[in-house]
């Protein structure tokens, strides 16, 4: 039986897109320097772009139709700002357990902001590089991709540190969430999967 929830920030579609983004970026990064796999590299890049569009749309529709509250920019900044305000002028507290917990949480949110800022820049630079065959744009694309990877590594490091400090593996919720979901969340997830499968079938047809 499907239920409505009003406070989940990691609903079914969020978890699905999270996995798609992980796999797409990994695939795109590993195939980026292999000329024979350029077509596959571009497919992964387009998948990243589509996933980002779906994520942005879900940010708008989820509270209205699925009754969930995906974390947006303001919620993430609300974690970072108090940390900077509290500890920025108090370096004597930088070795305290409370500081480490707050720092890891803030870095985690900062890395997510970095990922979602760099993702469209990386995809667009890759698209225009493929379209124009410009060497300069290729270098820009590689720069954004490496910055994207840096944000991902920071994300993983902050997640691991925060999990150790809280003595709870926080990534579990993103992959195996137990929150109930509405019929619209399920419908949107199936629709998103269908769109991505249709894109890959069309791209390689």
**How far, in Å, CA of 188 to CA of 62, rounded?**
10
**pLDDT at 203 (0 to 100):** 95
- Quick one: 113 exposed, middle or buried, by C-beta within 10 A (0-12, 13-18, 19+)? middle
Secondary structure tally for the chain: helices H, strands E:
7, 0
**pLDDT at 47 (0 to 100):** 97
- pLDDT tens string, the chain, 205 residues long: the values are 344 444 567 788 999 999 999 999 999 999 988 889 999 999 999 999 999 999 999 998 888 887 787 777 888 888 888 888 877 766 656 667 777 888 888 898 999 999 999 999 999 999 999 999 999 999 999 999 999 999 999 999 988 888 887 777 766 667 766 666 788 989 999 999 999 999 999 999 8
First-to-final CA distance of the chain: 38
């Amino acid at each position: 039986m499907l239920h409505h929830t009003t406070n989940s920030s990691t609903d079914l579609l969020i978890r699905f897109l999270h996995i798609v983004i992980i796999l797409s970026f990994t695939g795109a990064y590993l195939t980026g320097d292999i000329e024979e796999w350029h077509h596959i590299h571009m497919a992964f890049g387009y998948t990243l772009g589509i996933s980002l569009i779906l994520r942005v749309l879900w940010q708008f529709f989820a509270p209205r139709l699925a009754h969930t509250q995906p974390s947006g920019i303001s919620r993430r900044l609300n974690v970072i700002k108090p940390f900077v305000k509290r500890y920025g002028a108090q370096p004597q507290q930088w070795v305290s357990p409370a500081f480490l917990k707050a720092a890891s949480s803030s870095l985690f949110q900062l890395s997510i902001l970095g990922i979602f800022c760099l993702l469209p820049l990386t995809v667009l630079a890759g698209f225009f590089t493929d379209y124009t065959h410009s060497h300069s744009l290729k270098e820009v694309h590689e720069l954004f991709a490496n910055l994207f990877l840096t944000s991902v590594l920071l994300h993983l490091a902050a997640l691991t540190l925060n999990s150790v400090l809280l003595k709870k593996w926080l990534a579990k919720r993103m992959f195996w969430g137990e929150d109930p979901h509405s019929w619209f969340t399920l419908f949107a997830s199936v629709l998103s999967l269908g769109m991505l499968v249709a894109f890959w079938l069309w791209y390689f047809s």
